[in-house]
A and B are shown apart, each in its own frame.
Chain A
C-alpha cells in the first residue's frame, strides 16, 4: 500500500514531466508543473514517513524491465529515510521553483527534466535489484545532466556538462562492475540474493573499492569531486539545490545500501579508508570553498566538505560495527544520517538564497555584490540562518549532528585496533578544522554578499525576491531551527534505520520533559540540549535588551562611518572576498594549493595601479585528471592523421585489421 503510493507518486512525476514537455512554452506552465511536482513530493514524503514509522520491509514487483526478472522495489527503514530526504528537498525546490522559475529564460529546457530527475532519484532509492538500480541511477544522471546543460550559452556550462557526463559514466561503470561481482557466478541481480550471500571473501576488497569509486564520485569524495563544483552551480538554482542537497545523498544511500547492507559484515580495515577519506574530503572541500568568489561554486564546495563529515561518521560506524561495539556504531551511524538530513535542509536553503540573489542582481560573483541585507532583508535572514547552521553553530541543527559525530569519535578509544585509535582523534581534529573554516567561509560568503556597501549598481538596485521563494526558504530555515532545538526527535526517528545498519540504536530520547538533553549512548555522561541552550540564549538576550532599554541611553545618531577618522567613500576599499580569505590562503593554501602571490608595484613616480596576482593549483586536478586527459588528447591528436587518408589506404587498413583478427582467432582456438 505504502510502496504503491510511492510508486504512484513516481509515476505522477514522470507523467508531469511528459505533460511539461507539451506545455513548457505556455505562460503559466512553470507554476502548474512545479505545483504538481510539489504535490507528488508531498505525497511521497507522507508515505515514506509512514514507512519509516512502520519499520517493515515491504517488497513490490512490477513486470517491467528485463523480461526474466522484472523490476523489484523495496521499502525499508533505510530507503524510507532517504525518500524523505529526497522528497522533502524536491518539495521545497518545487515551491521555490514556482517563484524562481519565472526568471527562467528557457523554461522548456528545465520543466520537463525537473520532475523526471526527482523520479529518477526516488527510483534509485526504491530499487531492489541491480538492474533497476543502475537504470534509475543512469536516468537520474542523465536528467540532471540535461538540467545542468539548460543554460548552455553561458561560458562554463559546456565544460561543466562534459566533465559531469564523463564522471557520471565513470561512476556508473564502477557500480556496474561492483554489482557484477556481487551478483556472483550465477548472476542473480536481486538485492535479496546478494544480501543473503554477501560479498565473497576474495572479492570484498574489489567490490568495496568499486563502490567507493562509484558512489564516492557521485557524492563528491576528494579526489573524485572535480565535476561537482562545476556542474552544480551551472544548473538553475533550485536544481543546484537538488543536486547538492539531495543527489549527493542518493549517492550516500548507494554507499550505505551496498557497504552496510548488501555486502554483509566487513573487516575493520575498510573503515580506515572511509574515515581517512572523509576527513581529507571535509578539510579539502572547505579549503576549496574558501578560495572561491562565485557564491554558488562556494556552496558546491561546501557540499564536498559535508559529504566528508557524513563519510567520517559512516566510516566510524563501520569500524565500531566490525568490532561488535554496536552502541557506538549506532551513534556514529545516527550522527551521519542526521547530518544527511541536516545538510540537505541547509544546503537547499543556501542555494535558494543564492538563487534569489542571482535572480535579483544577475550575478553570482560575490565581488560584484554587497549590501544586499538592506534591499533583500528577508532573503538575507534566511541565508544567515542557513549559514549559521552549516557552520555548526549552536543552537542550530548543524551543530547537533556534528556534536554527535564528535561524541562518536570520543568513543574510539574503545576500539581494539591501534590504527583506528590514532586515526579517530586525528580525523576529529580535521573535522574541527573543517567546522572552523566553514564558519570563516560563511562569514565571508554572507559578509561580502549581504553586508558592507554595494559594489556595483546592480547590487544597489536589487529588489527582494517573490513570496513563494521566501516561503520555501523560511520553511527550511524553520526546519534548521527545529532540528537544532529538538534533535532528539530526529534521532528517535532514525532509530529503526540505525537498527537496520548496526543492529543497535541510540538511546531513546525522552521528549516530554522540557529541555531533555541529547544522550549519545547508554551510560555516557555527555549530553547537549539544544532547547535548553536556545532557551537560555533567549533569556539572556531578552534580559540584556530590557536592561539596556530601561537603564541605558537609547538615543541613536546616524552619521558617516568612523573608519578611524578616514572613512573611505570608494566602494572598492572594502574587504573583498579575495582579501577576506587572504590570511587563510597564506596559512593553509600554500600547502594545499601551492598558492603564490605576486605583487607588481609601480616604480616611484608612476601613478599606475599596483597589482597582485594570485596563482592557485588544484592538486586533485593536476595529479589525477590532467595526465590522463592530456594523454587522451595526445593520442587523439596522433590518430587525427587517419582522418585524411586516400581510399586505398583505408582499404588496406581494413584488410590489415581483418588479417590481425584472423591471426588472433587462429592462435586463440
Chain B
C-alpha cells in the first residue's frame, strides 16, 4: 500500500517534470524537419525558469480571478494528468476519477482559462475565449462518444480496466479500437490547439486561439499557464499510451525492475508520440476556424462508427 501510494506520488511528480521535455521534443523535431537547427529540447525548462524569475505585470483592472486562474488551471490539469495510470494500473487514487472525470477536469481547466481571457476586457482575450469554447463544444461530445465506444469494447470507463483489457491477449486487432484511436488523436489535436486547429507558435492576431486568451499574462502567471499547456499535451499523450498502447505497464506495484521498464517504455511512447505529432504538424496547414467543427465532426463520426460496429458484433 505504502509503495503503491509512493508510486502514485512519483507518477504525479513525473508528469509535471516531464511535460516541458515533451513540448521541447515536439519543437525540436519540427525545427529539424523545417531544416532549422532549433532550440535545445530543454529550452521549455529554461523558458519557464526565465518567466518565474520575472516580475508579473497586471492590467489595472485585473480581478482576483485573473490572478487565481493560473493556479487553478495548473491544479486541474495536473490532477488530471497525474491520475492517468502510466507507471502501474490500480494505483490507490485510481478509483477517484474515471475517463469521464479526467476529461471533466480538463474541461474545468478550460472553463477557468476562458474566463481569465475575458477578465481584462481586451478584444484579443475575448476572441480567444470565444473560439476556445466553440472548439470545446464540438470536441467534448466527440470525446464522450469515444469514451462510450471504448467502454463498449472494454466494459468500463475506468482507465485501469480499459488498459488491462487492451493489454490482454484476447484483444488482437480490432477495427473499433483503431477507429477510436484515430478519432481520439483528432480530438487530442483539437483540444491541445495544435496545427491544423490552432498554431501554438503564432502570435498573429487573427489566427490564434489559445495564445490570444493568455495574451495578458506575464511572469509567474504565464509560466504556470505554459506549464499547464505542456501538461495537457502530455496528459493526452499518456492517455493514448495507457489506453491504446498499454504494453509494459504492470498491473500494480511490482518492484524496481518493473518500474524501471515501465518508466522507460512510457518515455519511449510519449516521446515517440511527440515526434509523430511534429511530423503531422509540419505536413499540414492550419485551417480556418470555421472548418474546425468539420474536422472534429469527423472524429465524432469515427467514434460513432466504432461504437456501432461494436454494437453490431462483439468481434469488431
Q: Do A and B bind each other?
A: yes
Interface residues of A (CB under 8 A from B): 370-371, 373-374, 377, 384, 388, 391-394, 399, 403, 406-407, 409-410, 413, 421-422, 425-426, 428-433, 435-437, 439-440, 442-444, 446-448, 451-453, 515, 517, 524-529, 532-533, 536-537, 540-541, 544-545, 548, 551-564, 567-568, 571, 573-575, 579-584, 586-587
Residues of A within 8 Å of B219, CB to CB, are 553, 555-556
| Complex: A374 Cα to B224 Cα, angstroms | 24
Main secondary structure of the interface of A (DSSP, over half): helix
Q: Are B121 and A452 in contact (CB under 8 A)?
A: yes
- Apart from A527-B96, A540-B75, list 20 A-B contacts with CB within 8 A: A406-B144, A425-B145, A429-B145, A429-B148, A439-B110, A440-B134, A444-B133, A452-B119, A528-B96, A533-B79, A536-B79, A554-B220, A556-B57, A557-B57, A560-B60, A561-B60, A568-B123, A574-B122, A583-B130, A583-B134
Number of interface residues of B (CB under 8 A): 86
Q: Are A552 and B78 in contact (CB under 8 A)?
A: no
| Complex: A451 Cα to B56 Cα, angstroms | 20
Residues of A within 8 Å of B96, CB to CB, are 515, 517, 527-529, 532-533, 536
Contacting residue for B130 out of A384, A551, A573, A582, CB 8 A: A582
Interface-located stretch among B31-39, B99-107, B234-242, B274-282: B99-107
- B85 within 8 A of partner (CB): no
Q: Are A453 and B61 in contact (CB under 8 A)?
A: yes
Q: Are A440 and B104 in contact (CB under 8 A)?
A: no
Residue of A444, A551, A580, A586 with most chain B CB atoms under a 10 A cut-off? A580
Residues of A within 8 Å of B148, CB to CB, are 409-410, 425, 428-429
- B25 within 8 A of partner (CB): no
Residues of A within 8 Å of B72, CB to CB, are 541
Q: Are A428 and B145 in contact (CB under 8 A)?
A: yes
Q: Are B59 and A583 in contact (CB under 8 A)?
A: no
Q: Are A377 and B138 in contact (CB under 8 A)?
A: no
Q: Are B130 and A580 in contact (CB under 8 A)?
A: yes
Q: Are A440 and B136 in contact (CB under 8 A)?
A: yes
Known contacts A432-B143, A451-B121, A540-B79: does B107 contact A439 (CB below 8 Å)? yes
| Complex: A528 Cα to B224 Cα, angstroms | 27
Q: Are A371 and B98 in contact (CB under 8 A)?
A: no
Known contacts A377-B64, A525-B156, A526-B156: does B101 contact A428 (CB below 8 Å)? no
Known contacts A421-B311, A548-B224: does B104 contact A394 (CB below 8 Å)? yes
| Complex: A377 Cα to B66 Cα, angstroms | 13
| Complex: A322 Cα to B97 Cα, angstroms | 31
- B53 within 8 A of partner (CB): yes
- B185 within 8 A of partner (CB): no
Q: Are A583 and B311 in contact (CB under 8 A)?
A: no
Q: A584's closest neighbor in chain B, by CB?
A: B134
Q: Are A561 and B71 in contact (CB under 8 A)?
A: no
Known contacts A421-B311, A552-B52: does B136 contact A544 (CB below 8 Å)? no
| Complex: A557 Cα to B219 Cα, angstroms | 10
Residues of A within 8 Å of B161, CB to CB, are 525-526
Residues of B within 8 Å of A583, CB to CB, are 130-131, 134, 289-290
Q: Are A422 and B119 in contact (CB under 8 A)?
A: no
Residues of A within 8 Å of B290, CB to CB, are 583, 586-587
Residues of B within 8 Å of A545, CB to CB, are 71
Q: A561's closest neighbor in chain B, by CB?
A: B59
- Distance between A85 CB and nearest chain B CB, rounded to angstroms: 25
- B226 within 8 A of partner (CB): no
Contacting residue for A559 out of B59, B104, B158, B304, CB 8 A: B59
| Complex: A428 Cα to B142 Cα, angstroms | 11
- B267 within 8 A of partner (CB): no
Residues of B within 8 Å of A437, CB to CB, are 137
Contacting residue for B58 out of A384, A557, A564, CB 8 A: A557
Q: Are A559 and B57 in contact (CB under 8 A)?
A: yes
Q: Are B122 and A533 in contact (CB under 8 A)?
A: no
| Complex: A444 Cα to B155 Cα, angstroms | 37
- B216 within 8 A of partner (CB): yes
Residues of B within 8 Å of A388, CB to CB, are 108, 111
Residues of B within 8 Å of A394, CB to CB, are 97, 101, 104-105, 108
Mask of B110-145 contacts with A, CB within 8 angstroms, 1/0: 110011011111111111011101101111110111
Mask of B238-267 contacts with A, CB within 8 angstroms, 1/0: 000000000000000000000000000000
Q: Are A443 and B124 in contact (CB under 8 A)?
A: no
| Complex: A391 Cα to B109 Cα, angstroms | 12
Q: Are A439 and B61 in contact (CB under 8 A)?
A: no
- Distance between A82 CB and nearest chain B CB, rounded to angstroms: 28
A-B contact pairs, 25 of them (CB 8 A): A393-B111, A394-B97, A403-B104, A410-B151, A413-B152, A429-B300, A432-B140, A436-B139, A447-B114, A525-B156, A528-B101, A529-B97, A533-B97, A536-B82, A536-B83, A540-B75, A544-B75, A556-B57, A556-B219, A557-B55, A557-B56, A561-B60, A562-B218, A563-B122, A584-B133
- Distance between B242 CB and nearest chain A CB, rounded to angstroms: 16
- Distance between A480 CB and nearest chain B CB, rounded to angstroms: 14
Residues of B within 8 Å of A584, CB to CB, are 133-134, 137
Residues of B within 8 Å of A371, CB to CB, are 61, 121
- Distance between A379 CB and nearest chain B CB, rounded to angstroms: 13
Q: Are A553 and B220 in contact (CB under 8 A)?
A: yes
Q: B151's closest neighbor in chain A, by CB?
A: A410
The list of the 3 closest CB pairs from A to B, nearest first, reads A575-B126, A532-B96, A452-B121
Q: Are A451 and B119 in contact (CB under 8 A)?
A: yes
| Complex: A544 Cα to B93 Cα, angstroms | 20
Residues of B within 8 Å of A537, CB to CB, are 75-76, 79
Residues of A within 8 Å of B152, CB to CB, are 413
- B10 within 8 A of partner (CB): no
| Complex: A432 Cα to B103 Cα, angstroms | 11
Contacting residue for A528 out of B58, B97, B151, CB 8 A: B97
Q: A531's closest neighbor in chain B, by CB?
A: B96
Q: B289's closest neighbor in chain A, by CB?
A: A583
- Distance between A79 CB and nearest chain B CB, rounded to angstroms: 32
Residues of B37-74 at the interface with A, using a CB-CB cut-off of 8 Å, are: 52-61, 63-65, 71-72, 74
Q: Are A526 and B158 in contact (CB under 8 A)?
A: yes
Residues of B within 8 Å of A421, CB to CB, are 311
